[in-house]
Amino acid sequence: MSLLQRLSFNQMTADPWSLEQTVRNCSSSGVPYIAVWRHKLEGDAAKASAMIRREGLRVSSLCRGGWFSAPTPEERRNRVADNRLAIEEAATLGASVLVIVSGPANGQTLNDARATVLDGLLEILPDAEKAGVVLGIEPLHPMYAAERSVVVTLKQANDIADQLKSPAAQVVIDAFHVWWDPDVMQQIERARGKIAGFHVSDWPVPLPGILMGRAMMGDGVIELRNLRQAVDAAGYDGPIEVEIFNEEIWKTADDGLLPLIQRRFAEHV
């Protein structure tokens, strides 16, 4: 199978496009997978699912569940309920993976927030198992520890997956988030059999911003091919998502974007 047949377009790479436009563009460019964000579903996962299938695409993952930590027990319960809804939406979309971004400490201590993440995952795990959806625990880069994710290393995500002891608890590896880690190769190998996804983009130098600083593959310093080969060698042969948060790409996204991504993907991933 050619690597391009594993390409999944994460729709936040072209945020200005509607879901329908994204699906059509993927379809006409021969991109076989799409990664969908919940806020783009407009509350109707069934309608989105029908439209995606009509165009012959498959959904690599739904982004995102998680965000468990909250200052009050009531709010934490609401977060769990929302994760159950996300699992249902993933199942409706035929997405085998719900990406889990754990969320920030949000008023808790780091240790308490990390315990809350584990508790939240334990609560929703039976729902995921029943729905046939894998919870893909994604460590985010440590620069997001205060604002987006108290889970910041692949080791930590592997530890959580080990504690959950279920085929529905796996990890998602995003090159942008893990490339710097001296233990990354060892932790990729350790994740064998529980890798639910692999995401690519690049780290430009200098990094223009914390949230929107990602670059197109080949425009940065991440040794993407090394990482992809390590993930493959650890037994992963599923879709590879291109997820680039970059305002310039948002502004200029046109018919040339997907062909460019395909070229860069083939050259660098």
Q: Pick the closer one to a copy of itself by CB: 99 or 222.
A: 222
Q: Is 228 helix (H, G, I), strand (E, B) or coil?
A: helix
Contact call for residue 109 and a copy of itself (CB under 8 A): yes
Which residue from 174, 164, 81 is spatially nearest to 129, judged by alpha carbons?
A: 164
Q: Is 233 in the site for a copy of itself (CB under 8 A)?
A: no
Residue with tokens 């769990």: 80
Cβ neighbors of 101 (< 8 A, separation 6 or more) are 63, 64, 65, 66, 67, 138, 140, 148, 149
* Cα–Cα nearest to 241, from 45, 32, 28: 32
Question: If binding is defined by CB under 8 A, does position 207 make contact with a copy of itself?
Answer: yes
Site for a copy of itself in 86-105 (CB under 8 A): 104-105
Stretch touching a copy of itself by CB under 8 A, among 54-62, 66-74, 109-117, 231-239: 109-117
Per CB under 8 A, 142 contacts a copy of itself: yes
Contacting residue, 46, 81, 110, 266, with a copy of itself by CB under 8 A: 110
212 binds a copy of itself (CB under 8 A): no
* 17 binding a copy of itself? (CB under 8 A): no
Helix (H) or strand (E) holding 134: strand 134-137
Give yes or no for residue 163 binding a copy of itself (CB under 8 A).
Answer: no
Rounded to the nearest whole angstrom, what is the least distance from the CB of residue 197 to a copy of itself in the complex? 21
CB of 205 to a copy of itself, least distance (A): 5
Is 118 near a copy of itself (CB under 8 A)? no
Closest distance of CB 144 from a copy of itself, Å: 9
State which H helix or E strand residue 117 sits in. Answer: helix 110-131
* Separation between Cα atoms, residue 28 and residue 26, nearest integer Å: 6
Compute the distance between CA of residue 121 and CA of residue 100 in angstroms, rounded to an integer: 9
| Closest among 186, 162, 200, 202 to 234, alpha carbons compared | 186
Interacting residues toward a copy of itself by CB under 8 A: 104-105, 109-110, 114, 141-143, 145-147, 152-153, 155-156, 159, 179-183, 203, 205-207, 210, 220-221, 223
